[in-house]
Structure 1
Amino acid sequence: MAVAEPRRRAPRVDAIRNREAIVEAAAAALAEQGTAVDVREIARRSGVGMGTLYRHFPKKEDLVETVLRQEFSEWAESARRNAIGAADPWAALTDFYRQALTGYARHRAIMESFAVISSASDTDGLQQLRLVLEELRASAADLLRPGVTTDDLLLLLVSLGHAVQLTDECRPQLWHRLLHISLDGLRAGHREPLPAGPSTQDSTLRTRH
């Protein structure tokens, strides 16, 4: 006679509400203070005790990762929708870079984490970025100089993200200048061949499945 498996208890409404409050408070605190924010500050903002916070997120790193992945996913999906609906492919590409880098400049934790986004550990984030940039590249293919790849666009975004991190506090407009120069270099009017890039196997930005 088969023994029935015990039913899993559904999360209580108040537990769901507490988790949502913690994530929302953490998102605001991380944007303002970066990953160095004290979890006690997050608990205070969310209106829950430390015990409740740790039941949902035993480690601070778990909470930070949850928040950043959620915000990154929402941003990437928004960028993808905007790219698909854009009438001007070049405007879609340039707007994507401006919006992305402006977001990094306003969110300290994202700016800090972006410094290591090219590592193989963040495959989900890289894959989301690659999918968006692939659509943008395909739409603007006739407007881009020959040989520009999706990995080129991804590496450019990572590089400009570092520029934001290094210059935003002391010279906040400098990355706008660098972005303008970089985008101009992508235009189809440049006909000289690009240097050979790394192979697919050697690319450090290639996600692994």
Structure 2
Amino acid sequence: MKTATRPGTEAEAHRSTRPRADALRNRERIVSAAREIFVEYGPEAPLDDIARRAGIGNATLYRHFAERSALLVEVARSVMSRAAESAERAGAEEPDPFAALCRFAHEAVDERIGALCALLSDGFGPRRADLDTERLRLTETVEAMMERARRAGRLRSDVGHGDLMVALAQLSRPLPGTGCLDTDRFTHRHLQLFLDGLEAPARSALPGRSATLEDLRRATP
């Protein structure tokens, strides 16, 4: 005999397996606050400061991220994922490949991509594998965008993905001894100066060679 199911039971069970909307919002607030704090103070910044910046209690933070390493991984993954999405949108929506590159660059500094420098140099051990997919996606998307700009004669031929990413990381980190709010107002101005220097034709020969992703990874512990 088939057992009768109380109306709404299946829907209630399905809802119970999904994260609650407020839990998802709290997680997003934690990751966003952690990104800002890590940019300002580095990956060893007190987690209590992150909880205060996110406007939540310490218990809520630890419920989502029981270990600092888990939060570091999620911040790095989130920054790379959002930056890759930004690059993909810019490439699809901007007919001029150099304009697409500039749009991506400005959006990337707003994502505080400078947080990646300190986070990735910290090392994640086995957790580093969790980041490989997003890292590859971001690298390939930006390299493809830059290659289209080169073929169109809009990007100088002697700059590469690593050159751009180093500049974005530096420009989205505060200057030593200053607060983020004091330097943010200059970020897009200085970024545009840098981007103007990427346009072809080149006005000078660059010393050395373009940085690669492997160069950047070898430079970290």
The count of aligned residue pairs is 187
Amino acid at match of 2:215: S
Decide which moves more: 86-95 or 145-154.
145-154
Amino acid at match of 2:145: L
The equivalent of 2:145 in structure 1 is 136
Deviation string for 1:148-194 (max 9, x for gaps)?
222222222222223x5656422433222321221111111225332
The equivalent of 1:114 in structure 2 is 116
Q: Distance in 1 between matches of 2:211 and 2:54?
A: 47
The equivalent of 1:30 in structure 2 is 34
Q: Distance in 2 between matches of 1:58 and 1:16?
A: 20
The equivalent of 2:108 in structure 1 is 100
Q: Distance in 2 between matches of 1:150 and 1:63?
A: 27
Q: Distance in 1 between matches of 2:143 and 2:74?
A: 25
Counterpart among 82, 88, 94 of residue 90 in structure 2 = 82
The equivalent of 1:181 in structure 2 is 193
Decide which moves more: 123-132 or 145-154.
123-132
What TM-score do the two structures reach when normalised by structure 2? Answer: 0.63
The equivalent of 2:41 in structure 1 is none
Identity of aligned residues (%): 29
CA contact (8 A) 1:118 1:158 kept: no
Decide which moves more: 72-81 or 143-152.
72-81
Q: Give matches, 1:161-200, under 5 Å.
A: 161-162=172-173, 164=174, 168-197=180-209
Q: Distance in 2 between matches of 1:200 and 1:32?
A: 26
CA contact (8 A) 1:117 1:126 kept: no
Amino acid at match of 2:163: D
Quickly say closer, same or farther: Cα 1:178–1:33, change in 2 above 3 A: closer
Q: Distance in 1 between matches of 2:197 and 2:74?
A: 36
The equivalent of 2:136 in structure 1 is 127
The equivalent of 1:159 in structure 2 is 170
Q: Distance in 2 between matches of 1:196 and 1:175?
A: 26
CA contact (8 A) 1:83 1:89 kept: yes
Quickly say closer, same or farther: Cα 1:194–1:25, change in 2 above 3 A: closer
CA contact (8 A) 1:130 1:150 kept: yes
CA contact (8 A) 2:158 2:206 kept: yes
What TM-score do the two structures reach when normalised by structure 1? Answer: 0.66
CA contact (8 A) 2:76 2:116 kept: no
**1:60 Cα offset (Å):** 3.9
